[in-house]
Amino acid sequence: MPEFVRRIPEGDNRERSVCAECGHVDYENPKVVVGSVVSLGERVLLCRRAIEPRRGFWTLPAGFLELGETLEEGAIREAWEEAQAAITLDGILGVYSISRIGQVQVIYRAWFAAEPRFAAGPESMDVALFDWAGIPWEAIAFPTVTWSLRAWRRIGAAPLGQPVGNPADDPRGAGRPGAPVEGAA
């Protein structure tokens, strides 16, 4: 097995993992997460995580984009896998940079594709619709869930414009899960 060393490859400006034998550069790039804020009137669909990280906490139906998928296909797949929900995407609600864990998250605004049906998928303990006042803010899994829910609430059913991004006080996505949610309600 070849040994990889950390160095700046010729013509580059960042330290990378480089094969000591052949010079192959093993680029490490951010992962893409896709998901959606699925609403039914004034209520949103949340999933209680059955897996780590943040098992037992509430999140949007979201997960890693798979090779060969479009962003849209991935968001629709994740809603089915986590919430057994068939959805229709309306457009991109937010794009978030989470540099501390190397993620870019693309969150859509969505509705149920037909009659609203949902159930816990294999990665969810529970799935439920919440009105704004009933959202379990103290048990939200990730900062981007809070950011997305706030954007959904602010925009409502109005036409989507430019997607929202990280809040000004966390431009690199350095906030950690479990941090207090200021002004969430």
The encoded tokens of residue 15 equal 């330290």
Torsion over CA of 66, 72, 78 and 81, rounded to 10 degrees? Answer: -100
Measured distance CA(178)–CA(96) in Å, rounded: 18
pTM: 0.89
123: region left, alpha or beta (phi > 0 left; psi from -120 to 50 alpha): alpha
Cis preceding-peptide flag for 9 (omega within 30 of 0): no
Q: What is the pLDDT of residue 185?
A: 46
Give bridge partners of residue 31 from the DSSP assignment: 103
Give bridge partners of residue 34 from the DSSP assignment: 63, 106
What letter represents residue 161's amino acid? G
Q: What is the pLDDT of residue 178?
A: 58
Query: Could you give all domains of the chain from N- to C-terminal order, each with its CATH number?
Result: 31-155 (3.90.79.10)
Per-residue confidence of the chain (185 residues) as pLDDT tens digits? 889 999 999 999 999 999 999 999 999 999 999 999 999 999 999 999 999 999 999 999 999 999 999 999 999 999 999 999 999 999 999 999 999 999 999 999 999 999 999 999 999 999 999 999 999 999 999 999 999 999 999 999 899 999 999 999 999 998 776 555 454 54
Cα–Cα–Cα angle for 38, 146, 112, rounded to 5 degrees? 0
Rg (CA), the chain: 18
Each residue of 26-49: b (16+ CB within 10 Å) or e?
eeeeeeebbbbbbbeeebbbbbbb
The encoded tokens of residue 182 equal 């200021």
